[in-house]
């Protein structure tokens, strides 16, 4: 049962334009959401997170938006750069359950930024 | 390098053999996690330690899998009688119980051990 879904396996964007990566979840108990970036032969690297008490969090070129009613979050990268080309994973946890913050990951979206 | 370290990076074994992987977390992190990732999927949670105590195990962790963290520092994941379906990337992550709420809730991942069962 996939509780976190990334329905777009891949995305191609021109350098300088906006990249929008989407993620949907089904478990209403999730209260903390993260985006990880993964390069080949490396482990996932933390990118940005958002708590369910917020609907937006921004860090430089990266902004995450959370729509709790739709159980949807998105990652915006602007402007996109070739170095952003990687696989992006959305992850969610139910922190308030105090189970050690098990993360549930989506299947990933492979972003290619074309120079 | 003070990140999460995993060894070996690659392991090729024959079906039925036992394998053991090691994870060294970031030194001040008391929480340690094991995940498994297969092709085209995201990481799937296997088990979690707080210090030396194993507090949570996924149903994915069959009886052939065992994980330990004897002194609350490094951890090992052993798979007995490997099967071809065990072929995957095994990822270790750690996090800290200290600090601000955001910092406590970030898991830092190692590069993983890729297991191939022939």
- B41-65 core/surface letters (b: 16 or more CB in 10 A; e: else): ebbbbbbbbbeeebebebeebeeeb
CA–CA separation, A49 vs A63, rounded Å?
9
Q: Collect all residues of chain A within an 8 Å Cβ-Cβ radius of residue B48.
A: 99-100, 102
- The answer to whether A92 and A25 are in contact (CB under 8 A) is yes
Task: Please give, rounded to a whole number of angstroms, the shortest distance from the CA of A85 to a CA of chain B.
Answer: 17
A102 is written with which tokens? 């098990």
Mean pLDDT over each residue of chain B, to the nearest integer: 91
pLDDT-based confidence at residue B55 (cuts at 50, 70, 90): confident
B25 interface with A at CB cutoff 8 Å: no
- Round to whole Å and give the CA distance between B88 and B17: 15
* Confidence tier at B100 by pLDDT (50, 70, 90): low
Given a contact cutoff of 8 angstroms between Cβ atoms, the answer to whether B4 and B93 are in contact is yes
Closest CB to A106 among B33, B42, B48: B42
- Name which of B102, B107, B110 is nearest A103 (Cβ-Cβ): B107
Rounded CA-CA distance A80/A78 in Å is 5
| A81 to chain B, closest Cα gap in Å | 24
Q: How far is A108 from chain B (nearest CA, A)?
A: 6
**Two structure tokens written together for A103:** 């993360």
Low-confidence ranges of chain A (pLDDT < 50): none
Q: Span B78-103, mean pLDDT?
A: 87
Q: Which chain B positions have a beta carbon within 8 Å of A101's beta carbon? A: 31, 95, 105, 107
Contact check, Cβ <8 Å, A100/B110? no
pLDDT exceeding 90 applies to what percent of chain A?
83
> In chain B, whose CA is at the least distance from the CA of A40?
B111
Taking the CA of residue A96 as centre, how many other CA atoms within 13 Å lie in the half-sphere pointing to its CB? Answer: 8
Nearest to B67 by CA among B28, B107, B20: B20
Quick one: pLDDT at residue A12?
97
* Token code pair at residue A8: 């777009």
């Amino acid at each position: 049962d996939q509780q976190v879904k990334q329905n777009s396996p891949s995305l191609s964007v021109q350098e300088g334009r906006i990249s929008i990566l989407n993620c949907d979840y089904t478990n209403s108990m999730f209260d903390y959401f993260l985006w990880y970036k993964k390069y080949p032969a490396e482990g996932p690297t933390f990118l940005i997170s958002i708590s369910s008490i917020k609907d937006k969090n921004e860090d430089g070129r990266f902004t995450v938006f959370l729509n709790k009613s739709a159980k949807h979050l998105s990652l915006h990268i602007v402007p996109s750069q070739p170095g952003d080309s990687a696989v992006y994973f959305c992850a969610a946890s139910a922190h308030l359950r105090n189970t050690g913050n098990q993360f549930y990951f989506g299947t990933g979206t492979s972003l290619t930024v074309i120079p | 390098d003070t990140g999460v370290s995993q060894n070996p990076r690659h392991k090729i074994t024959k079906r039925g053999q036992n394998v053991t992987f090691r994870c060294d977390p970031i030194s001040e992190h008391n929480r340690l996690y094991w995940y498994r990732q297969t092709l085209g999927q995201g990481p799937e949670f296997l088990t979690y330690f707080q210090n030396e105590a194993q507090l949570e195990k996924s149903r994915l962790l069959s009886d052939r899998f065992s994980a330990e963290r004897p002194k609350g520092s490094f951890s090992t994941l052993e798979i007995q009688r490997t099967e071809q379906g065990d072929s995957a990337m095994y990822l270790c992550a750690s996090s800290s119980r200290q600090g601000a709420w955001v910092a406590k809730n970030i898991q830092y991942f190692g590069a993983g051990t890729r297991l191939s069962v022939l």
